[in-house]
Chains A and B, each alone.
Chain A
């Protein structure tokens, strides 16, 4: 197999120790090029054997130093050796436990790349593990999520999935579908032996139960997604209400800003803000345009689109300004979304009238000043409460965290509903199979399993067939 050698940071950034992972056919050689034992350096031998690791046993740990091309020492490391196929990617893998901070880790990584490694793409180790048959699809995606997981919650969910909890949960539903498919098929294949009299009523009930089970998974998906990928938060308000200053305030706080990337369109800027255990993906509707009005800048349709996607809306109101049609325009777009009204600039005016807004909206109002920071704690607490009140039940739930999984479960649900419809239409039992098989296949996508021989094996193992 032709696989080039990749290197990347396997640990998250930050923290005391950073791990660089090298995987591929030249992993051992590359590691040998940059590694020196302390003994070698101290003894001052004439030449270092770059094939050093090739002679070492797999699954061993080596202490030593990393040197640049000119033999100058960069860092002190522990090297973990895992030779193919007994490694995560099933290729030769070397992991360097580096003690220095992020700067040194970057320096070592750059060195490896100069020497011929390619910088691993996000999730590429998992991809290789998957392509080499090391892990199944659900696990691979989970690992990818783990690498990029931005919050504690996401990590927990990723770990759950890694342990196959989603797979297991889905597996149970799948197994039951398979059993009934086997039963139907046995009766079709050997009608003089197995009868389906009265089966359809009973089966309809079973299907309803399965649909409910899958429905629950889907319901929790939204919560799961928000926690692992962030709560999509949109700030709206009339021009000069103080949206940008709110954004800056959120960003200026001493919380870690993970990323600052352009949004999906160039109309807005999306920022990621950590709020306790939550992640907010805040869309600054002021964006990169001069004008601050989302409605005017983007047009009503675009504005609707952003607000439609929003998990949470912060509506900033300037208390020194009066309620007018600009507010009405915004209010008409908010629909039944979750959100909060920030009554901004209370440092300039001490009293104001909430009534106009309250007539339109059942949202909580928070007195706020982007100048003094008053109300910020309250805002954070409010958002946190709004999304974390069910935290205890969160821990006992199983979450679908990837859109691909959601899609698969949705399709399966849809197929099972079609089976129910087939039953209600009084169609014969063999027609149940069309959609049952679809449901079975859709769920199989979650752990990357195919259906080919399952049914036939099920028929033979559970039902006594034959002449």
Chain B
């Protein structure tokens, strides 16, 4: 028999990386927030790789931090190795990645949640989201308790009707044997939400005592730590770091896989869900890239509390005996003992084109969805959506306009726009190539891009905002000084230049032009820049990047300006696409289905051609004219 329990402003379903950010944002913005989780012991659990960040994902974490999120702070507390990737490339693709102590990470996040005002944790399974007249009214749990609320944020990750598979073994559980959420999918379908089935996987974990590290290459972290959170200082985060290890598969490994491929549930048809192309299982790699005679394998510690090591690069759903044989062909793993088998996991998720950029369902007011249940993958992608959904649920309750990050403001904007505009046929992973304005969207300037927005929302303190304003001012002043600062062609200068392999000056130049030389930098030029002020490192970095890559940055700013022109052409919600003459049938169907908010968004929908966009623009002009 159902009964009514307490009521809340917001209910968050799930306490993974999306759920934590969503719940914290809501609670911090003053909403009474209840978080449901299948197990309070699995808050912010990392069921797959033991790291946070990496190419483009590191950007997301820093953006979440700039908006006032928790992920950056939490990994700063709990990392056991830190590394900046791509240092030989341009600043836009420098990517921060940290190995996490999984247990520590989870505990630290739980502590934050438990000590946040307005936030209540509750172990239980939500079976139904209650909707009346297209509006959320509450949720019902599997124990038949009803919790009235104004907004629901669904962050169910990979738990909806989850099934874990390896070989012919199949368990109806979520990751790590946690119980699956088996009821909510039916409710979603009843609400008219389109649901699909995705698949992903994880490699085996081995006992570190049985690994021969002598046969592998050591991968150390960086000595100088770059914090994920803009609130942390490098020197405060110094600690002893743990290494990862690199080894390779070989022909023997591939032979075993090829011989047993018919026993893989992926190939036998036992798994129907769509898997990700960017993170293929080892059997996929071997079958699809037959010309490669080896693949990389990274051994990563799961944490300081355990000997378990994650075998990065070798996720699999092959049967246990094949896994055993396969892993043991890899140098260093000859005697490895497997603690947990590799497995594939299948789960239900929604088609994200049903969402607005605020992550609210277009057709159900107050219902938001974030994270892997939107068809994305990765902890960072989940957190990024979580904070946006949380912010907007809270704003809805307060009667405020939603906050939407666009493609020119952050990777968060690219991620959400891709999901809701293009949809996805596989678990979606962030990549820097998806960000067309990536020279502007660097991990080093996430604070300059987004802190102000976070401050406006109410998740960034006055003190932090003031600090940002100071930083901005320092950058501007220093750049202005360098543009004016002349450098004579004297002997001291020219001998300095020669020493750095740079052309001597024939006549006077200025500091700005010297910084632009590839072999020089702001830092190096300190020697001949007498009246240089003493500035914080992050300010110096911005000055250097802004001057050095000025031409490229200016180019992207122009592209952004033309992008924003189309973004600002809003499409009225009551538009009747049948009335727009000359649109192709396919375009009409797509536009009706996606209901884009702007012409810019419409232009990114596949099946809508440039000609359709011209037609649409003309129609909107006409419509505007008629209205006036």
A residues lining the B interface (CB < 8 Å): 1-3, 130-133, 181, 185, 188-193, 196, 425-431, 433-434, 437, 448, 450, 452-453, 455-456, 459-460, 464-467
Indicate whether B89 reaches chain A with its CB closer than 8 angstroms: yes
Q: Is the interface of B mostly helix, strand, loop or mixed?
A: loop
With beta carbons under 8 angstroms apart, the residue of A189, A450, A459, A467 that contacts B49 is A467
Contact yes or no, A2 B89, CB < 8 A: no
CA distance A188 to B90 in the complex (A): 10
Given contacts A133-B586, A426-B519, contact A189 B552 (CB under 8 A): no
Indicate whether B434 reaches chain A with its CB closer than 8 angstroms: yes
Contact yes or no, A188 B582, CB < 8 A: no
Contact yes or no, B549 A450, CB < 8 A: no
Contact yes or no, A460 B277, CB < 8 A: yes
CB-CB nearest in chain B for A467 = B312
Name B286-305 residues within 8 Å CB distance of A. 288-289, 292, 295-296, 298
Given contacts A185-B433, A425-B518, A434-B552, contact A192 B296 (CB under 8 A): yes
Contact yes or no, B584 A188, CB < 8 A: no
Contact yes or no, A191 B278, CB < 8 A: no
Name B439-460 residues within 8 Å CB distance of A. 439
Contact yes or no, A1 B432, CB < 8 A: no
CA distance A131 to B610 in the complex (A): 10
Task: Name the B residues within 8 Å of A191 (CB-CB).
Answer: 55, 85-86, 89
CA distance A431 to B296 in the complex (A): 27
Q: Is the interface of A mostly helix, strand, loop or mixed?
A: loop
Given contacts A427-B518, A464-B288, contact A2 B581 (CB under 8 A): yes
Indicate whether B354 reaches chain A with its CB closer than 8 angstroms: no
With beta carbons under 8 angstroms apart, the residue of B90, B246, B604 that contacts A452 is B604
Indicate whether B145 reaches chain A with its CB closer than 8 angstroms: no
Give the Cβ gap from A204 to chain B, nearest Cβ, in Å.
Answer: 15
Task: Name the B residues within 8 Å of A188 (CB-CB).
Answer: 55, 86, 89, 93, 432-433
Name B585-600 residues within 8 Å CB distance of A. 585-586, 588
Name B524-562 residues within 8 Å CB distance of A. 549, 552, 555-556
Known A453-B606, A465-B279; 13 more pairs at CB < 8 Å: A1-B581, A1-B585, A132-B584, A185-B433, A189-B431, A428-B89, A428-B93, A429-B90, A430-B89, A437-B436, A459-B431, A465-B280, A467-B279
CA distance A131 to B580 in the complex (A): 13
Contact yes or no, B433 A431, CB < 8 A: no
Contact yes or no, B431 A133, CB < 8 A: no
Indicate whether B329 reaches chain A with its CB closer than 8 angstroms: no
CA distance A431 to B518 in the complex (A): 13
Given contacts A192-B296, A434-B552, A467-B298, contact A1 B582 (CB under 8 A): yes
Chain B 471-496 interface mask (CB, 8 Å, partner A; 1/0): 00000000000000000000000000
Task: Name the A residues within 8 Å of B92 (CB-CB).
Answer: 430
CA distance A196 to B86 in the complex (A): 11
Indicate whether B183 reaches chain A with its CB closer than 8 angstroms: no
Task: Name the B residues within 8 Å of A190 (CB-CB).
Answer: 55
CA distance A459 to B434 in the complex (A): 11
12 pairs, CB–CB < 8 Å, chain A vs chain B: A185-B431, A189-B431, A192-B85, A427-B549, A429-B89, A431-B90, A431-B439, A434-B439, A434-B552, A460-B277, A464-B288, A465-B280
Given contacts A189-B431, A189-B433, A193-B296, contact A465 B610 (CB under 8 A): no
Contact yes or no, A456 B583, CB < 8 A: no
CA distance A450 to B605 in the complex (A): 11
CA distance A87 to B216 in the complex (A): 65
4 closest A-B pairs by beta carbon, nearest first, are A426-B518, A428-B90, A460-B277, A466-B279
Chain B 245-257 interface mask (CB, 8 Å, partner A; 1/0): 0100000000000
Contact yes or no, A466 B278, CB < 8 A: yes
Task: Name the B residues within 8 Å of A467 (CB-CB).
Answer: 49, 279, 298, 312-313, 315
Task: Name the B residues within 8 Å of A430 (CB-CB).
Answer: 86, 89-90, 92-93, 432, 438
